[in-house]
Amino acid sequence: MRRALVGCLALALGATPVGVFLLLRRMSLTGDAMAHAILPGAALGYFLFGLSVGAMTIGGLVAGLAVAMLAGLVARGTLLGEDASLAAFYLISLAAGVLLISLRGSQVDLFHVLFGTVLALNDAALLLIAAITTITLLTLALLFRPLVAECVDPSFLRTVSPLSPVAHYGFLMLVVLNLVGGFQALGTLLAVGIVILPAAAARFWSRTISGLLLAAVLVAVCGSLAGLLLSYHLDLASGPAIILAIGGIYLLSLLAGPEGVVTRRLLHQRHLQA
């Protein structure tokens, strides 16, 4: 449980800020597609070397970057949009990954790869997640202003700054890296939950980027702690419990946050009465 908590806290510090920028760039579903796209690489690493953290990580990273680049090339060279090309490649990747795992392992192995084994994090996995978090925070600190500008007006950033491609492709690299890190704890199907859900919940608590980043990290930390406690006391699967706990915070934020449905209606009624 302590290792699982440390891993989730590291993911909260690194993955959720990336989720905030995905939300601001309207790329939330892209993150979901990329989470599935890493599966064939991770499955190939498992097929060749078994449950090796290094092999599965390198395989997932290569597969995720390959799908991202292929989707971009198809979108730029054909009539197909980027969302459709990404959806096509991630579906192919998901099917190929499941097939590879089924050829080598059992249903238990497939379950672990898809849904994660957060209670089985070893030293190598924790060090990997911590390294990805460190790289993410340093990169976001260096590229913060270009990333914010690209969220507001990508065309303007391309016009006035040579850092536009660096910010764009560097951010895609961070997305893939954090999904690979989340894959170690939560599997390919749930890793995107700790990236997107805290960012979505934070949107109902703040309007500023700094406020969104802080709120998203707090939501991820609280949801991880609550999910682990629920899984321990109620004997539930830890990965789904963590994502459901974060989802519960999202629903609460949707209803009662300063920018939530109930709060905005009350403020609107008071405005009309005034």
Prediction pTM value = 0.83
Whether pLDDT at 265 is above 90: no
Say how far apart CA 107 and CA 178 lie, in whole Å. Answer: 26
CB 86 within 8 A of CB 95: no
Q: What 3-state DSSP class applies to 25?
A: coil
CB 228 within 8 A of CB 240: no
Lowest mean pLDDT among 96-100, 135-139, 199-203, 228-232: 96-100
Neighbouring CB atoms inside 10 A of 165's CB total 12
- Please tell me the total count of domains within the chain: 1
The predicted pLDDT at position 270 comes to 57
Confidence of residue 246 (pLDDT cuts 50, 70, 90): very high
| pLDDT tens-digit series, residues 146-157 | 888 888 877 777
- List helix spans (H) across the chain: 2-24, 28-37, 39-49, 53-77, 82-104, 107-115, 123-142, 144-152, 154-160, 164-190, 193-202, 209-234, 238-256, 261-273
- Tell me the two tokens of residue 143: 């590229």
| pLDDT tens-digit series, residues 114-130 | 667 788 888 888 998 99
Q: What 3-state DSSP class applies to 260?
A: coil
DSSP 259: T
CB 101 within 8 A of CB 43: yes
CATH number, domain of 64, equals 1.10.3470.10
Residue-number span of the structural domain to which 269 is assigned? 2-273
CB 21 within 8 A of CB 171: yes
CB 100 within 8 A of CB 43: yes
Say how far apart CA 64 and CA 34 lie, in whole Å. Answer: 6
